Structure 1
Amino acid sequence: MTNKACNRHVILSGCSGGGKSTLLAALGRAGFQTVAEPGRRIVAQETAGRGAALPWVNPAAFARRAVDMAKQDRAGLGDASSWVFFDRGLIDAAVALEHEAGIEVSETLAGSARFHPLVFMAPPWPEIHRIDGERRHGFDDAVAEYHRLCGAYDRLGYKLVILPKTGVAERTVFVLNRLD
């Protein structure tokens, strides 16, 4: 994968329950390649099996699995000629691993190519935040996670772009306009 291709890899991050997955789905419907959030996929796999690496059972094991899955996701992509959008992904997983196991983000990311310099952050949005079978943490925990993510992306030299609290169509246009 070339550096130019990686520069087409765009991260959607931010507050849990802030509308990232909905935005990702809209970008997919618009014809862009998308990569679903590792965390939700892991929860689905773990709840179908023995459930040892769930964030509410063993958060460190969950974070390790998310890092591994995010690395595999990225390695499986060819050279991108168009935008590829990631719902969370490697850096978010590295931040979770640092929080849960004390492993520095820089250590987890060592040797990984950088993503596009703009990172789109879904801000805390209590009106749409919901707890469900895959997201069991409350709004206060989601806000704390949001602040950890903002700090980490800033330390890594990414430019944070806060998504507006608007409908998905407006958010989609906002993201695409910022990338042009």
Structure 2
Amino acid sequence: MKTKRIVISGGPGSGKTTLISHLESEGHTCMHEVSRAVIHEAQKQGIDQLFLTNPILFSQKLLEGRLQQFLDASKYNELPFIFYDRGMPDVTAYMDFIDSHYPENFSETCSINKYDIIFLLPPWEEIYTQDNERYESFEQAEKIYHFLLKGYQSYGYNVIEVPVGTVEDRIAYIHKQLKQLL
């Protein structure tokens, strides 16, 4: 049995990390978002917002981290699926959002290393908050959502939108979709 790779993505503040934490508490294997670690490392070096200062370097570090997570999933062949807090196509979608060119290998990496299922969380103003790592406004989060949707679709994915609701309702929706798809 091949482990299915399942991405939970969405704009900033849409509830991704909360869902990943809940899935993990249910016993699922989850790969956590790498951007906060990249941001903290840059801040230790005196760079407040690496994405704003050097978007290519920031994105390269994210892509490398997410690719490593993708490759690490081969250690979990006995599992039916593994969840990711964001996927590699998030990198190119964010670069498109800021209208920045990026190396061709970014798109190649996304095209070669394919996930099985993509769940996308829509913007949800009621739960949106900004913090030290989340500097985007809610309006920007809405735009990012559309870039994520378009980005994943451009790599040939059928994106499944997870409706807003309680964590339990969202998890139930994901489980129901997985049963139907797998």
For the superposition of Structure 1 and Structure 2, which TM-score range results when normalised by the shorter chain? 0.7 to 0.9
Deviation at 1:119, TM superposition (A): 1.1
1:69 paired residue number: 65
Quick check: 1:58 aligned with 2:54? yes
Change (3 A) 1:74 1:141: same
1:100 paired residue number: 100
Question: Equivalences for 1:121-160 in 2 at 5 Å?
Answer: 121-160=120-159
Change (3 A) 1:68 1:47: same
RMSD: 2.0
Inter-partner Cα distance in structure 1 for 2:49 and 2:103: 17
CA contact (8 A) 2:119 2:161 kept: yes
Deviations 1:9-37 (CA, angstroms, capped at 9, x unpaired): 10011121100000000000000001111
So what's the TM-score if we normalise by structure 2? 0.86
1:82 paired residue number: 80
Inter-partner Cα distance in structure 2 for 1:171 and 1:156: 25
Inter-partner Cα distance in structure 1 for 2:72 and 2:49: 23
Secondary structure of 2:51's match?
A: coil
Which amino acid counterpart does residue 22 of structure 2 have in structure 1?
A
CA contact (8 A) 2:163 2:170 kept: yes
Deviation at 1:157, TM superposition (A): 1.8
Deviations 1:28-77 (CA, angstroms, capped at 9, x unpaired): 00000011112122112222334377223222211111001111112222
Question: Equivalences for 1:29-40 in 2 at 5 Å?
Answer: 29-40=25-36
So what's the TM-score if we normalise by structure 1? 0.87
CA contact (8 A) 2:30 2:83 kept: yes
Q: Matched residue pairs, number?
A: 174
Which amino acid counterpart does residue 115 of structure 1 have in structure 2?
Y
Secondary structure of 1:55's match?
A: helix
Deviations 1:131-170 (CA, angstroms, capped at 9, x unpaired): 1001011112211111111011112221111111101111
Secondary structure of 1:72's match?
A: helix
State the identity %: 27
CA contact (8 A) 1:11 1:86 kept: yes
**Contiguous gaps of at least 5 residues in structure 2:** none
Q: Report which stretch shifted further, 46-55 or 84-93.
A: 46-55
Secondary structure of 1:40's match?
A: helix
